[in-house]
Amino acid sequence: MTDDRGDLVLVTGAGGFIGGHLIGELRRLGHRRLRAVDVKPAEQWYQTFSDVDNRTLDLRDRDACRQAAHGAREIYNLACDMGGMGFIETHKAECMISVLINTHMLMAARDAKAERYFYASSACVYAAGKQTRPDVAPLVEEDAYPAMPEDGYGWEKLFSERMCRHFREDFGLETRMARYHNVYGPHGTYEGGREKAPAAICRKVIAAQLTGDKEIEVWGDGEQTRSFMFIDDCLYGTRTLMHSEVREPINIGSDELVTINQLIDIVEDIAGVRVKRRYKLDAPKGVRGRCSDNTLIKQKLGWAPSVRLRDGLEKTYRWIHDEMVMPTDRRRQYA
């Protein structure tokens, strides 16, 4: 498949963190016809571009999906109702309702005769029994079955992966599926309850500096482990997968495993400060350990995410710091 940059490309969830970055990257690469869709009003999007066809549509509705997909050659479906662990553990039904988005978008893509369809899945599809130890074995793609994913959000993602597979088999729609592992970076949520651990830790350490109260709250005992992928790696992996011949779901994530305490250590070093840690053991904390196995992506794409956590966190910290110290009337307001 040729990457014709004069053809219409649709990005759903474009008002969100990854979607906003993806629109920006496609513009930078010379795509001239871009449509950006999100359920939020445009003034609440994390990034907007005046030369893009920006639309506010609720993609849980089938007619809205038809409007979004009309004329599109490629569709990147990033739209869903999600957040960090604090959100997905307490909003299971809301997360599962996102199944309407992918179902209706697949139907709209088929009817619009789109050539390629990308679905943003998640490492939350992996079986819980494989993630019970901090020194977790990296998760290979086969570990999603027998199925026991994250309740709510993970089930929706796993079901939607199967929908993508069957639309390819039954209707010839070329679908691509990425299992993202904890994407972070600038221009994303860092407060309000939907933020993920890297942004939350950055915010807490910055707030401790600004207020002089050198104590932060940590969810769990801090010994749970994760791998975190910087947004630049996410974007490259997404575009490369979209134009590949890889039809099965594939990990796009870092294999640099750290504890949450180690994550805090890195942010402290960047900030030049030490904080006291108050552990909240009854807070949502998810599985005990999770890390991406990148064997398959290296085999299939000849590449794997490689941005060091320290390097990505430094950029993220600086952006969040500037946002927090900027006068209120100049700050972007997040929903």
Give the residue numbers marked as catalytic: 153
Q: Which region holds residue 212: left if phi is over 0, alpha if psi is between -120 and 50, else beta?
A: left
Name the 3-class secondary structure at 272. Answer: coil
Dihedral (CA of 128, 306, 190, 202) sign: positive
Q: Which of 236, 245, 126 is nearest to 181 (CA)?
A: 126
Any idea what the Cα angle at residue 309 is, between residues 133 and 278, rounded to 5°? 60
Structure tokens at 230: 């910087």
Residues, the chain, total? 335
Structure tokens at 228: 């975190």
Residues 107 and 112: their CA atoms lie apart, in Å, by 9
Dihedral (CA of 83, 84, 88, 91) sign: negative
Q: Which of 3, 8, 66, 62 is nearest to 36 (CA)?
A: 8
Structure tokens at 146: 């027998």
